[in-house]
Structure 1
Amino acid sequence: MFRQAAIIAVKQSYPANVRQFATLREIEMRLKSIKNIKKITKTMMIVASTRLSKAARTKVTTSEFSKPERSFYEITEAEKSPLAKDGKSLIIAITSDKGLCGSIHSSMAKKVRLLLKEDTTADIITIGDKIKQQVQRTHPENVKLGFNGVGKVDPNFLETSLISAEILKYINESPETYNKISVYFNDPITSISFEASNDPVYSEATVGEAPGLCKYEITQDLNIPKDLFEYALNTKILAAMGKGYAAEISARRNAMDNASKNAGDMINKYSILYNRTRQAVITNELVDIITGASSLD
């Protein structure tokens, strides 16, 4: 009776939420799980490393498509067009569907939220599930159109043509007027850093009112501003997806490298804990054996 009361008193002296020491089996299972995670992260790091050079070539190749439009906008001074700041803002935010690449998607979502603080009525078109999910949590009413199934392979002209065709269809059917469209993407600065950048696309009406358009001899029976707008939207999205793809591959490699290093540190920590716990178990068993043998004498 006295022994039971002592045990109850000892149990009541410790809070119910105090975590007890892990058993040897629990530590062994935890150590095995961390080792398996390290194998996965190391494999993903190797895969991302092999795709870095191809992603860099894709970034350079796709960027060449948007250079003529950028030069045209500079010569015609499209940003000084009286219609450039009229109408509603349309933001095209580009990421991908895949995760495990650090903060590259959350930084783009943060950038979009900052833009929506400045212009609460701006409409959003998302390319990639990651940016769509994060923006819809806080501003679901601003998201008008979304695309997924992107980012699995390097972008190409056919893929962006299908996307831009749907965007043009939405713009033509929308009652709103979008004279300036901003394409936001992750631009790789170095192999370990990136930033959310944007590239403007000016509408047919904006280009038609550009002050420097007179520098070009444009035939009246050809609708050059309209054709330029449609082609520029496609090439800007292609270049943005190419840069974003390169930034994502680099970010994934760095994230998996850091994860592998952290897993290695945890393996060392749990290996030490496992050895110490194992030694303690063996010591306790020896004490029990010696105590039992002594009681027989």
Structure 2
Amino acid sequence: MFSRAVRPAANLAARQAVAASSRNMATLREIEGRLKSIKNIEKITKTMKTVASTKLQRAQRVMEAAKSYGQASESLYKNAEAVAPAEGKTLYIIASSDKGLCGGTHSQLTKTLRRSLAASDSSSEAEIAVIGDKCKAQISRFTPENIVLSFNGVGQNTPTFLDAAVIADQIMQLGHSYDKINIVYNRFASAISCEPDVINAFSTEALTASPGFSQFEIEDEVLDNLKEFSLANAIYWALAEGHACEISARRTAMENASKNAGDMINRFGLLYNRTRQAVITNELVDIITGASALN
């Protein structure tokens, strides 16, 4: 039995031991819950990486097919030696999408647009057509008044020529005469790299005024149709390459996220084992101390 002098000190020590044990158990539960959350995130990122890897192969096939459309129109302008006028009304078409989790794929398009507007003398008169909500949200923060047309629902599936034709038709229905049309898109450099680039779509006036236009037997009544068709080809090319770049960037982002989650799992696993060992040690010390006090 404890004496009256010893009892208060023993009770205080017991309460402190219980409080310390409770704190350690709470910390252990927090670490365990965090570890479980990170493991779930790792499963999700690995699954998203697998899905992106599967989609990338199809996106690359569509991209190669779309290049033939865009390069056919590009070769026409090149052989005709068409040159866009130095001054005039410009339309910028930004080929992004509605999806995220792909690194800086969309933000680099916005940066390219900002640099182009800063270098242009008539940036206040330039108009912007945005394909995809991601870049629209970014552009709206610095020049919302220049946006004349926007499209959403892009990026859900692999782009088709019909999508590009609808976008080109909506642009033509604006009824504006543009001297220059610049399509800002992500060019697929490799499976791990993409770079922002610009495709030029020339106006009818620029094409007819080109030195080599006379070698093509094109009737005047089909020039407007040729302009719209060439614009649709260029948009399809830009959308297909941008889609492949987006999926490639998402695969890389998910791979990096999975690696980071694995590193965090290792660190928290080590911390959990150390904390658990500390709890067991403290409980053993309490038991031994209590047994010694009883003796």
TM-score relative to the length of structure 1: 0.87
Aligned equivalents of 1:86 and 1:213: distance in 2? 21
Q: Which residue of the other structure, out of 26, 35, 38, is the alignment partner of 2:39?
A: 35
The alpha carbon displacement at 1:154 in A equals 0.7
Aligned equivalents of 2:225 and 2:212: distance in 1? 18
Aligned equivalents of 1:51 and 1:126: distance in 2? 24
The alpha carbon displacement at 1:167 in A equals 1.0
Spell out structure 1 runs of 4+ moving beyond 4 A. Answer: none
User: After the TM superposition, which of the residue ranges 270-279 and 103-112 deviates more from structure 2?
Assistant: 103-112
Aligned equivalents of 1:34 and 1:28: distance in 2? 10
Q: Which residue of the other structure, out of 121, 134, 142, is the alignment partner of 2:146?
A: 142
* Correspondence for 2:216: 216
Gapped regions of structure 1 (runs ≥ 5): 4-19
State the percentage of identical aligned residues.
49
| Residue 86 (structure 1) aligned with residue 87 (structure 2) | yes
* Correspondence for 2:281: 283
Superposed CA offset, 1:62-84 (max 9, x none): 111122211110111111x6xx2
Aligned equivalents of 1:32 and 1:92: distance in 2? 44
| Residue 162 (structure 1) aligned with residue 166 (structure 2) | yes
Q: Which residue of the other structure, out of 145, 153, 158, is the alignment partner of 2:157?
A: 153
- The alignment yields a C-alpha RMSD, in angstroms, of 1.8
The alpha carbon displacement at 1:288 in A equals 1.3
* Correspondence for 1:51: 55
| Residue 116 (structure 1) aligned with residue 117 (structure 2) | yes
| Residue 197 (structure 1) aligned with residue 197 (structure 2) | yes
The alpha carbon displacement at 1:207 in A equals 1.4
Secondary structure in 2 aligned to 1:141?
helix
The alpha carbon displacement at 1:211 in A equals 2.0
Please tell me the residue identity of whatever aligns with 1:242. Answer: A
Aligned equivalents of 2:196 and 2:102: distance in 1? 15
Secondary structure in 1 aligned to 2:145?
coil
Secondary structure in 2 aligned to 1:96?
coil
Residues 188 and 247, structure 1, Cα contact 8 Å, conserved in 2: yes
Q: Which residue of the other structure, out of 129, 133, 139, is the alignment partner of 2:137?
A: 133
Secondary structure in 2 aligned to 1:124?
strand
Aligned equivalents of 2:142 and 2:37: distance in 1? 36
User: After the TM superposition, which of the residue ranges 258-267 and 224-233 deviates more from structure 2?
Assistant: 224-233
* Correspondence for 2:19: none
Residues 25 and 279, structure 2, Cα contact 8 Å, conserved in 1: no
Please tell me the residue identity of whatever aligns with 1:183. Answer: I
The alpha carbon displacement at 1:86 in A equals 3.3
Secondary structure in 2 aligned to 1:184?
strand
Gapped regions of structure 2 (runs ≥ 5): 1-8, 10-23
Structure of larger gyration radius: 2
Q: Which residue of the other structure, out of 74, 81, 84, is the alignment partner of 1:70?
A: 74
Residues 124 and 142, structure 1, Cα contact 8 Å, conserved in 2: yes
Residues 90 and 124, structure 1, Cα contact 8 Å, conserved in 2: yes
* Correspondence for 2:185: 185
The alpha carbon displacement at 1:21 in A equals 11
Aligned residues: 270
Superposed CA offset, 1:222-274 (max 9, x none): 42321211101111000110111111111111110111011000000000000
TM-score relative to the length of structure 2: 0.87
Superposed CA offset, 1:187-207 (max 9, x none): 110111000011111112221
